[in-house]
Amino acid sequence: MFSILRKEKGNLSIVMLLAVIGMASGLSMASLVLRDYRGFFNQVERIQTQLLLRGETYRGQAFVTSNPFMTGRIDLPVREIAINTPRLNRTYRSTSRIVRARENVLVGEEDMGVTTTTSATEMDTYKMMTLVETSIGQGFGSHFDDNKTLVRRYGELLLVQSSFSEFMYFSAYDVSPAGNNVYFYGKDLVTGKVHSNTDIQIKNLYGWPKFLNLVTTAGHVVSHSGSYNEEEVFPGGLIEEYDVYDFPSTADALRNGGQLLRYGAADRTILYVRSNGGTANAMTATVLSPQRKRAPVTGRGNTVLYPPYSIYGVDPGPYEPELDTLYTNVFAVPDTIWQPISFTGTRGKAFFVDGSLWIEGTFAGFQTWGSSRDMYLMNDIKLAGTALGEDPISNRNDVVGLVSEQSILVKYAYADPFDTTGARVHPNCGADNEYPGVEGAGGGIMIYAAMIALGDGGTDLSNYHLPNFLDGVFTFEYMHPHGSTPAVTLPFWVAEDSVEVITYDWIDLHRRKYPPDAANPWPPLIDLPWYNPIWPEQIAYKERGTINIYGAVAQRRRGFVHRSGNDSEYPSNSGVWDIEIDMCGGPISQVPQPEPPFNQPPLILQLGTQNWPGVSGSGSGYDKNYNFDHRFYTIQPLLYPEARLQGGKLPMTHGNWKILNPDQSVL
């Protein structure tokens, strides 16, 4: 080494070697810097193009929302966005196309449901296709210019028309059928979206209500308890003076796309369905033409007494002659004939009954059931893959939609047509502590479904404060209970030397004029015949438990699920009987005096009301345990009514969004 350094040629060799090494190092470093530089800008461009793809989806959504009647294919105007900074000089170009089709689609994850064919629903779909390209410098040249970069991003987004299942509460008119305010108050913890086309009323009663998701109203929020902290009451957000939603009157998609079930005239047809997973047992009822009945009213002089014979062993003294017939009530009563049927494949299907639907059971797969007349919930509406009281969020297979073109009611009681004995049952009553491990839950009824009551009584925004009892509501049957005299089977004196065991029924009909009139009103504390669906019932139930909903509710008006028993805003318990307008006798807390001959020991028949065992409260009906089914943000029940804003605008839901590697021919 030293000998080389002593020579002049050796020094030059070392210098040349070091120069070569330095040059190689410099080139290597420059290559690394250039690679990092290009990698950095490539990454910036990829991020920017993805952001632009996302922005284009909202541009397309806004276009579809405002142009609901577009058909075929629409190419949106090409957008070019330039970014010019000392370090970055790029132009981004977005080319977008929207194609409309009405097809079977699955909104949400691709593997949601049993299969994509049976779990899908026909609806308007809009495929938004967007290509974002990048060029260096300002603008784009010809197709073959070399200023384009290699960064090209392509996305396909499925836009689907929103449905009413996305709302935990939806009301076209946020008033009761009587036209009075219905309030949200301290017991209301609302976990899903809320919308009303009219004002929303709130009260500080047991605290303020709390809305954990977005609340929109075409009117305003009206407080009946003074000022409130908006961030505490509406932590999910509040938008007032929002667009008005059109609320449909008919279930067109279900009528046209579902299986139509018709068993006779709609006003004389009942279908009772007991679902058992993917099959169902059912009974059809034909309501026969009303038959004329006669009920003699008996007594002596002007005093009404019934039964017409004295009771053996109770009435003092021996045999007394049969009472006189004072007059005879004449009225018509319909009868019902039940016939069994069955359904063998309900999974992934939708059914529409032209008549009234009674429904209960366990449902597997995607199922929607609808009716042209009132729908009655006879017992729990359960999902095959979800235990009662559990949130269905992890259930990827089962979704239920319930659609009525009138109202949806929780059934009070009925004579079971599946039971040959005709047993009278109260399946939707239960104790408060029936589900001890589930917060807020109680016995009563469990409903895992999206429900919508479309009944249209002719209400509009100009008259919604007027009473209208034909508008669709979600509510409960038999709101104003009173006792009624039950059938009795006793030994009676039928002659001076003869005693016979006789059953007397419809006793109240034999004691007063029926149908009643202004001169002969019905007693306010005794049930009008057949107001109670299992009339007569000596002790009727007031408080019945809890309505537990894991789903969504949409209705034309806000139906009651609890009544005070003496409503001050609408005096429905003032003593008048007019059931069609919710005037139903006197206060439910009062009881009548026993009437002879059942007013002396040991046959005192005290009529009245009571709470279901284990249920607290002083009114009638149910507590609420409402929970939104958050799956409805990404999936919809089969053929469920779609939402439209007034003026034809279409609120849209994002379906699947795919980002793909584009080829040269795309768009």
> How is the chain split into domains, by residue range?
2-162+650-660, 251-289+334-485+526-645
Top pLDDT among 217 and 109 is at 217
- What are the beta bridge partners of residue 403? 370, 452
Sequence-distant (6+) residues with CB within 8 A of 45 are 90, 134, 149, 151
Q: Averaged over 393-411, what is the pLDDT?
A: 98
pLDDT tens, 299-352? 988 888 899 988 887 755 567 888 899 999 999 999 999 999 999 899 999 999
Indicate whether 109 pLDDT > 70.
Answer: no
Indicate whether 160 pLDDT > 90.
Answer: no
Q: Residue 117: its pLDDT value, please?
A: 36
State the DSSP string of 40-80: HHHHHHHHHHHHHHHHHHHHHHHHHHH-TT--SEEEPPPEE
Indicate whether 99 pLDDT > 50.
Answer: yes
Which DSSP state fits 429?
Answer: -
The answer to whether 546 and 432 have CB atoms below 8 angstroms apart is: yes
Calculate Rg over the CA atoms of the chain.
Answer: 36
Local confidence band at 70 (pLDDT 50, 70, 90 cut-offs) = confident
The answer to whether 200 and 194 have CB atoms below 8 angstroms apart is: yes
The answer to whether 273 and 342 have CB atoms below 8 angstroms apart is: no
The amino acid at residue 454 is: L
Q: Give the closest residue to 105 by CA, choosing from 53, 154, 161.
A: 161
**Could you give the percent of the chain with pLDDT greater than 90?**
63
Q: Averaged over 150-159, what is the pLDDT?
A: 79
Q: Extract the tokens encoding 606.
A: 């005290």
Q: Residue 313: its pLDDT value, please?
A: 78
Q: Residue 497: its pLDDT value, please?
A: 85
- What are the beta bridge partners of residue 493? 499
- How many residues appear in the chain? 667
Q: Residue 572: its pLDDT value, please?
A: 87
Q: Residue 505: its pLDDT value, please?
A: 96
Indicate whether 119 pLDDT > 80.
Answer: no
Q: Residue 111: its pLDDT value, please?
A: 40
Q: Please state which of the ranges 63-67, 113-117, 307-311, 362-366 shows the lowest mean pLDDT.
A: 113-117
Q: Residue 259: its pLDDT value, please?
A: 96
Q: Residue 3: its pLDDT value, please?
A: 61
Local confidence band at 551 (pLDDT 50, 70, 90 cut-offs) = very high
* Strand ranges in 257-413 using DSSP code E only, listed in sequence order: 259-261, 269-277, 279-287, 291-300, 303-304, 324-333, 336-343, 349-353, 356-363, 366-371, 375-383, 399-404, 408-410
Question: By CB neighbour count within 10 A (0-12 exposed, 13-18 middle, 19+ buried), where does 168 fall?
Answer: buried
> Mean pLDDT in the chain?
88
Local confidence band at 120 (pLDDT 50, 70, 90 cut-offs) = very low
Evaluated on CA atoms 540, 543, 545, 547, the torsion sign reads positive
pLDDT tens, 462-493? 999 999 999 999 999 999 999 999 999 999 98
The answer to whether 579 and 518 have CB atoms below 8 angstroms apart is: no
Q: Averaged over 599-610, what is the pLDDT?
A: 90
Indicate whether 110 pLDDT > 70.
Answer: no
Top pLDDT among 569 and 173 is at 173
Q: Residue 62: its pLDDT value, please?
A: 81
Longest dimension (CA), the chain: 158
Distance (Å, whole) CA 588 – CA 606: 14
Local confidence band at 182 (pLDDT 50, 70, 90 cut-offs) = very high
Q: Residue 399: its pLDDT value, please?
A: 98
What is the torsion angle, in degrees rounded to the nearest 10, for the CA atoms of residue 220, residue 222, residue 227 and residue 232? -70
Q: Residue 286: its pLDDT value, please?
A: 96
Q: Residue 161: its pLDDT value, please?
A: 76
| 3-state per-residue secondary structure call for 493-505 | EEECCEEEEEEEC
Indicate whether 639 pLDDT > 50.
Answer: yes
Q: Residue 648: its pLDDT value, please?
A: 74
**Could you give the percent of the chain with pLDDT greater than 70?**
87
Q: Residue 172: its pLDDT value, please?
A: 98
The answer to whether 341 and 261 have CB atoms below 8 angstroms apart is: no
